[in-house]
């Protein structure tokens, strides 16, 4: 992760994700990548900007293989939908609750 000072961003995730054992059993450490995806998502629709494994790996300081494994877990367990493009992918967060203006 860059040593630059980053802007703080409130990422809205339901507390059930952290308090319900079924989520730990389903996604385990993948929750870190889920949080990353939430931080990159549009607040209205839960759709991320275009992403690449290499960029995520660099941002999080985690090996690409781990990122790919976590990504597969989130997809297999239906926490995310993925739209693959030629040079990256978009993630749609499932069960997203809009956090747009006035919410």
Query: What is the pTM (predicted TM-score) of this model?
Result: 0.80
C-alpha closest to that of 46 among 79, 8, 9? 79
pLDDT of residue 20: 75
User: What is the domain partition of the chain in residue ranges?
Assistant: 16-93
C-alpha closest to that of 71 among 53, 45, 48, 85? 53
Q: Which two tokens stand for residue 26?
A: 């389903």
Q: Which two tokens stand for residue 40?
A: 């990159």
pLDDT (average), residues 28-38: 92
Q: Which sign, positive or negative, has the C-alpha torsion 34, 72, 74, 42?
A: positive
pLDDT (average), residues 48-58: 95
Say if residue 102's pLDDT is above 50: no
- Backbone torsions φ then ψ of 24, nearest 5 degrees: -60, -45
Tell me, which fold does domain 16-93 have in CATH? Arc Repressor Mutant, subunit A (1.10.10)
């Amino acid at each position: 992760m860059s040593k630059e000072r980053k802007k703080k961003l409130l990422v809205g995730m339901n507390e059930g994700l952290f308090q319900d054992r079924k989520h730990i059993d389903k996604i385990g450490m993948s929750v870190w990548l889920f949080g990353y995806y939430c931080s990159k998502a549009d607040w209205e629709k839960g759709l991320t900007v275009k992403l690449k494994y290499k960029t995520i790996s660099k941002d999080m300081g985690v090996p690409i293989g781990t990122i790919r494994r976590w990504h597969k877990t989130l997809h297999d367990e239906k926490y995310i939908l993925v739209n693959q493009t030629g040079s990256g992918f978009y993630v749609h967060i499932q069960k997203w609750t809009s956090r747009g203006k006035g919410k």
